[in-house]
Amino acid sequence: MAEPLPQDPTLDEMRTHLAPRIAAHAAFDGWSDAAVERAAEELEIDPDQARLAFPKGAADMIDAWFAGIDAEMAAAFSAQELAAMPVHKRIRAAVLKRIEIARPAREALRRALAILAMPQNMPLAAKLSWRSADAMWRLAGDTATDFNHYSKRGILAGVYGSTIMAWLDDESEGEAETIAFLDRRLGNVADFETFKKRLAGDPDQRFSVTRFLGRLRYPGR
């Protein structure tokens, strides 16, 4: 649970506390000033000050809400819980926890993704996707700093994004279809990791950025 809002909050503190409440209203009011005003009323914040916390409008609101989901997910697991799980189970638990957190604002998430899909918001969408994947891998204890750092996050961003899209349309009991979808995707990732390990033992097949770029420039005939 978030800390209570301080008596004289900064804009960052207002943004953190307002974001989940804005999401709760966004299903009906959209990611709009109306949603900000309703959230501000609930927290007894001056609406004009509340709007100042989101100078870029909907993009800032969505950014703050996703950051809150990252933080709530990270706080949901104890070190003992994580230590008892293999890495792929930690990732699975993280994805399902994010869905649990977003569930009360499911329609707001659908609207948020529609906004992020707009051409002008594609850079933000990529940033938020990467940030969420990074938060999940850090929760899982990943400390890679080499190429694997980027490949793991890129792969997980794809798994998470496609799972969310499946979940938004899932009407099965207990969201069984979403869980099955996630497990299949994570199985594919596990297969990919096995394939990478096999290639690692063969220098001739190992991925090389230089060789890849060279082939693009001088394709075989």
pLDDT at 195: 53
Residues 2, 101: contact at Cβ < 8 Å? no
Whether the per-residue pLDDT at 219 is higher than 60: the answer is no
Whether the per-residue pLDDT at 218 is higher than 50: the answer is no
Give the model confidence (pLDDT) of 77-90 as tens digits: 999 999 999 999 99
Q: Is residue 43 part of a domain?
A: no
Residues 116, 128: contact at Cβ < 8 Å? yes
Q: Is residue 67 part of a domain?
A: yes
How many angstroms from the chain centroid is the CA of residue 163? 11
pLDDT at 143: 85
Q: Is residue 158 part of a domain?
A: yes
Give the model confidence (pLDDT) of 4-35 as tens digits: 777 788 999 999 999 999 999 999 999 999 99
- The number of domains in the chain is 1
Q: What is the mean pLDDT of residues 170-195?
A: 86
Of 106, 95, 97, nearest to 170 by C-alpha is 106
95 lies in which domain range? 56-217
Q: Is residue 63 part of a domain?
A: yes
Q: Count other C-beta atoms under 10 Å from residue 164's C-beta.
A: 20
pLDDT at 148: 83
For residues 168 and 205, the model is more confident at: 168
Q: Is residue 3 part of a domain?
A: no
3-state secondary structure of 18: helix
Residues 186, 156: contact at Cβ < 8 Å? no
Structure tokens at 36: 């900000």
For residues 171 and 190, the model is more confident at: 171
The enclosing domain of 138 has a CATH number of 1.10.357
Q: Is residue 42 part of a domain?
A: no
